[in-house]
Structure 1
Amino acid sequence: MPDTHMQTATDSIDAMQAVLDRQKAAFESERHRPLSDRKADLEKIEALVKTRGDEFAAAIDADFGRRSKSETALAELGFTIATAKHSRQHLNKWASSKPVSVPMTLAPGKAYVRREPKGVVGIVSPWNYSMQLAFAPLVAALAAGCRVMIKPSEFTPRTAALIKSTLAELFSEDHVAVIEGGVDEASAFTALPFDHLFYTGSTQVGRIVAKAAADNLTPVTLELGGKSPAVIAPDFDGAEAAKTLAWGKFLNAGQTCVAPDYALVPRGSEQDFAKSMMHETGEMWPDVATNGDYTAIISERHHARLSEMVEEVRQAGAEVHQLAFDKAAAGNTRIFPPTVVVNPPLDSKLMQEEIFGPILPVLGHDGLEDAARFINERDRPLALYVYAKSKQTARDFLSRTISGGAAVNIPLLHLSVEDLPFGGVGASGYGSYHGESGFLTFTHERGVFEAPVWHPSRLIRPPYGKMFEFFKKLQAG
């Protein structure tokens, strides 16, 4: 019997290649999409989110089994509208050629940088913010004048289908196309010879994506994750820090790439801080079993992984704090209550892997120098949060550490500043986007030097003589 799975995969790969070929042909016929048309593209995205936002919220809710509509409005719908509007308003400036100075030895001449679209780009988006993390890079690519193919996550099939159908209403397939499917389709997608590939997801899969793209010498932006620390300075009240850290950690049930992954607090205050976190969490999400503002875990497999993490450290003797949770009342087996673990073993999965769920390990530090050493001994995090009364103390701490992004006295909000580049470093990724950084990610900066019909450089061509020696002295200053 024929292998129908293999045949289906082959058909899917052929279909993807055909879409790519059509997009490349369309790009060749219109290499420089007018800025007015690009702005119109971004206006379409804004209007889509405003008019169909409730449908996206419902699809995301269904994919998660329970997803806070308020969180979707805040982190997905509102964010997408803001980034599309910001890009549209600044596009003229971003797309303009940039003059650069010319040294006296090359005068008279003119040099400038042309900002040109790279071509056809691929976007692989994740499940945790399934709409926003597909649309935000799409906005940047359209602003740059590129053609776009998107591969959404298979963990959020309803949202993926809605992204596909709504974008098909706005754009022809040779302009924007959405490819649905699972792991096989994702693997084939990342192996296509795009002009740029943009991936958001885990570090483990990011390595695979980078290798696939390398075969085509495709430039890649990797938006990954890692263990983002939150550090409480000795001069900062831990109970005060918990007021915002609890929100930043347990938003979307911790399924956020820049969620605080562990907290470093002054040694001896671990228990008090854990209690403060539990108090603040209970205030924000009372009765998580039935509270519609508290989000479920995306899948049974992810839920089981989180349960195993907690059980491992519980068996090792770590103290585990959890909000009261009536599993029977939840009506959803994927609700995982907010959890704080005090001083888990450093070799536990909880401290070795990105948690990506509502569990916060709390460890003690012996001063900010000790906290910086702890962070620097590990992979570079995607985000770092430092709480300090003194801004200079916070800035000094940032100077002693490395992270993709950072925020002082608040988690997450650096993502919402459109003009801040967002991206990782080291194991948390490379490349950045948001605002002009996103535009430039999908843009080729082409250096150009223009000389007049007759240029003095003719005087220094062979045979070399006195004029050449004069030029050398002039060049040396």
Structure 2
Amino acid sequence: MNDQQQPHTELLKTLTRLKDAHLKQGPANAQLRRDRLQRAIALLHDNREQLSEAISHDFGHRSTYQSLLADVASSINALNFASENLEQWMQPEVVTAPEQGMQTFIQQQPVGVVGIISPWNFPLNLAFGPLAGVFAAGNTAMLKPSELTPQTSALLQKLVAQYFKPDELTVVLGDADVGQAFSALPFDHLVFTGSSSIGKQVMRAASENLVPITLELGGKSPVVMAEDADIQQTAIRTMTVKTFNAGQICISPDYLMLPDTDSEAFVSAARQFMVKSFPSIVDNSDYTSIISQKHFDRLISLLEDAQAKGANIIALAPEHEAAFDAKTRKIAPHLVLNVTDEMKIMQEEIFGPLLPIKTYQQIDEAIDYINAHSRPLAAYYFGQNSDRQHEFAQRTTSGALVINDLMTHASIDTLPFGGVGASGIGAYHGIHGFRRFTHAKPVVIESEDGAANLRLRAPYQQKYAELSAFLDS
């Protein structure tokens, strides 16, 4: 056995054990599903400080508040929502039968064992968010967290072993080779959150076993500021999200489009926001570091490439502070004006506190630009006119649309969360996650007289005459 085969062989043994246990134990009842959800909540709640410390260590520095809000509390909310609603979701859906005496309904059946490949930027949220739907649907799971957050991933593996049996939830650690082997396993469903390039590899590997897949891939999410938008509001709300987790979010704004007369006013409003919210950055515990040196260097190279190709770079660093600091891997927000599509910053998902700004003369230019590029995971529109809001919603396609704010949809459990086209396949959260990890199995109980079956039974002469009369009518 060579080195490449070994991870797959060991992982396959683990998956086989989980599948065998799932079949042997039979469908999980509501009590067991709720118990699993509540144990997941307890894991996060009881160990929140330790988990936040591990995340911060992996980032170099990460705001404790951000970890508690976006990773711990949001995950607990999702798990609680599923726990409170799962019995209603589990009910068979009765549908109208075509024949008298026949019964027809849709059974909500667990798919089995779900694989989850979670990313580094929200290492708890993007693991336990899918798990809320997985457990509510009566499934078990294998989780492969990111190798870029090694301390968090190791702690998660340790804690999961304390709160769950190995045939309920198992955490697998390892590098990209392990991730590749993991994505090639014959799961009953596979969830991947990450970059589009890796998403293509995961989908290709899953296709070998015809594994149904959910992909959440990100992309370049636009902000469009209409002529009737409040510039201060747009700047404050956009920069709030662009600075949260230092912009390392799949639905963070990736570029801004605004009227060509409003650039200066937006820059001024963004500066005011930074003075009030981040009077310092390097020593500020509220401001998060870039995850790794590789990612830090990539962001700096995006700025250098843009500047070399004619962009106007505006650093929003506090006075007497550098625009970025290699030691702490902190990068102040940067506005990048006069961007063109030849610049790498307009070709790649940024995943950092850099905001390119494009201008337009007519709103149609912004809509056409968005439609000429890959469909984003989210789009954001600022403007007060309801007709124009509706027009933007109808004429652009994105995983989600938020009007006069950013990212709020991600924490609303009654809404589906997912991409479209290049930004992803499938959606979860709330009942949408339950349905994603459930097989909607049609069930028919035939009537006593077998009316539906009689249509197929020879001889056909009389039936043919009746059918012909029906088709001619």
Alignment equivalent of 1:89, drawn from 84, 95, 104 = 84
- SS of the equivalent of 2:47 reads helix
Cα offset, 1:275, TM superposition: 2.6
- SS of the equivalent of 2:166 reads coil
With over 3 angstroms needed to count, the CA separation of the structure-2 counterparts of 1:472 and 1:80, relative to structure 1, is farther
- Give yes or no for contact 2:137–2:435 (8 Å, CA) kept in 1: yes
Number of the residue aligned with 2:359: 364
Number of the residue aligned with 2:72: 77
Matched, 1:216 2:201: no
Q: 2:335 is matched by which residue type in structure 1?
A: V
Q: 1:470 is matched by which residue type in structure 2?
A: E
Matched, 1:98 2:93: yes
Number of the residue aligned with 1:246: 239
Cα offset, 1:448, TM superposition: 1.3
Cα offset, 1:100, TM superposition: 1.1
Cα offset, 1:102, TM superposition: 2.1
Cα offset, 1:51, TM superposition: 1.1
Number of the residue aligned with 1:259: 252
- Give yes or no for contact 1:108–1:455 (8 Å, CA) kept in 2: no
1:70-149 to 2 correspondences below 5 Å: 70-103=65-98, 106-149=99-142
1:286-305 to 2 correspondences below 5 Å: 286-305=279-298
Q: Deviations over 1:338-372 (max 9, x none)?
A: 11111212211100111010000011012222111
Q: 1:339 is matched by which residue type in structure 2?
A: H
Number of the residue aligned with 2:172: 179
- For 1:190 and 1:70, the matched residues in 2 are separated by 33
- For 2:470 and 2:83, the matched residues in 1 are separated by 46
- Give yes or no for contact 2:315–2:323 (8 Å, CA) kept in 1: no
Q: Deviations over 1:57-96 (max 9, x none)?
A: 0000000000011111111111001000000111011111
1:334-353 to 2 correspondences below 5 Å: 334-353=329-348
With over 3 angstroms needed to count, the CA separation of the structure-2 counterparts of 1:450 and 1:276, relative to structure 1, is same
- Give yes or no for contact 2:101–2:448 (8 Å, CA) kept in 1: no
- SS of the equivalent of 1:261 reads strand
Q: 1:465 is matched by which residue type in structure 2?
A: Q
Cα offset, 1:281, TM superposition: 2.6
- For 2:453 and 2:250, the matched residues in 1 are separated by 57
- Give yes or no for contact 1:264–1:365 (8 Å, CA) kept in 2: yes
- For 2:417 and 2:20, the matched residues in 1 are separated by 32
Number of the residue aligned with 1:157: 150
1:193-208 to 2 correspondences below 5 Å: 193-208=186-201
- For 1:329 and 1:464, the matched residues in 2 are separated by 82
Query: What 5-or-longer segments of structure 2 have no aligned partner?
Result: none
Cα offset, 1:333, TM superposition: 3.7
Give the TM-score normalised by the residue count of structure 1.
0.95
Alignment equivalent of 2:305, drawn from 312, 318, 324 = 312
- Give yes or no for contact 1:290–1:330 (8 Å, CA) kept in 2: no
- For 1:131 and 1:101, the matched residues in 2 are separated by 42
Larger displacement relative to structure 2 (175-184 or 447-456): 447-456
- Give yes or no for contact 1:274–1:342 (8 Å, CA) kept in 2: no
Number of the residue aligned with 1:22: 17
- For 2:197 and 2:378, the matched residues in 1 are separated by 18
1:227-238 to 2 correspondences below 5 Å: 227-238=220-231
Q: 2:351 is matched by which residue type in structure 1?
A: F
Matched, 1:462 2:462: no
Identical positions, percent: 37
Q: 2:462 is matched by which residue type in structure 1?
A: K
With over 3 angstroms needed to count, the CA separation of the structure-2 counterparts of 1:279 and 1:366, relative to structure 1, is same
Q: 1:375 is matched by which residue type in structure 2?
A: I
- For 1:329 and 1:254, the matched residues in 2 are separated by 14
Q: Paired residues, what number?
A: 470
- For 1:285 and 1:135, the matched residues in 2 are separated by 30
- Give yes or no for contact 2:417–2:429 (8 Å, CA) kept in 1: yes
- Give yes or no for contact 2:112–2:139 (8 Å, CA) kept in 1: yes
Number of the residue aligned with 2:262: 269
With over 3 angstroms needed to count, the CA separation of the structure-2 counterparts of 1:211 and 1:331, relative to structure 1, is closer
Cα offset, 1:290, TM superposition: 0.8
Alignment equivalent of 1:409, drawn from 404, 412, 426 = 404
RMSD of Structure 2 on Structure 1 (CA): 1.8
Cα offset, 1:175, TM superposition: 1.3
Cα offset, 1:452, TM superposition: 2.1
Larger displacement relative to structure 2 (166-175 or 328-337): 328-337
- Give yes or no for contact 2:317–2:333 (8 Å, CA) kept in 1: no
- SS of the equivalent of 2:330 reads coil
1:361-400 to 2 correspondences below 5 Å: 361-400=356-395
- Give yes or no for contact 2:290–2:296 (8 Å, CA) kept in 1: yes
- For 1:458 and 1:233, the matched residues in 2 are separated by 61
Cα offset, 1:174, TM superposition: 1.4
Q: Deviations over 1:296-347 (max 9, x none)?
A: 0000000000000001111222111112363599683411111111121221
Cα offset, 1:468, TM superposition: 4.6
Larger displacement relative to structure 2 (171-180 or 275-284): 275-284
Cα offset, 1:179, TM superposition: 0.4
- For 2:206 and 2:472, the matched residues in 1 are separated by 43
- Give yes or no for contact 1:278–1:321 (8 Å, CA) kept in 2: no
Give the TM-score normalised by the residue count of structure 2.
0.96
With over 3 angstroms needed to count, the CA separation of the structure-2 counterparts of 1:476 and 1:21, relative to structure 1, is farther
- Give yes or no for contact 2:324–2:332 (8 Å, CA) kept in 1: no
With over 3 angstroms needed to count, the CA separation of the structure-2 counterparts of 1:475 and 1:46, relative to structure 1, is farther
Larger displacement relative to structure 2 (312-321 or 76-85): 312-321
Larger displacement relative to structure 2 (181-190 or 262-271): 262-271
Larger displacement relative to structure 2 (397-406 or 467-476): 467-476
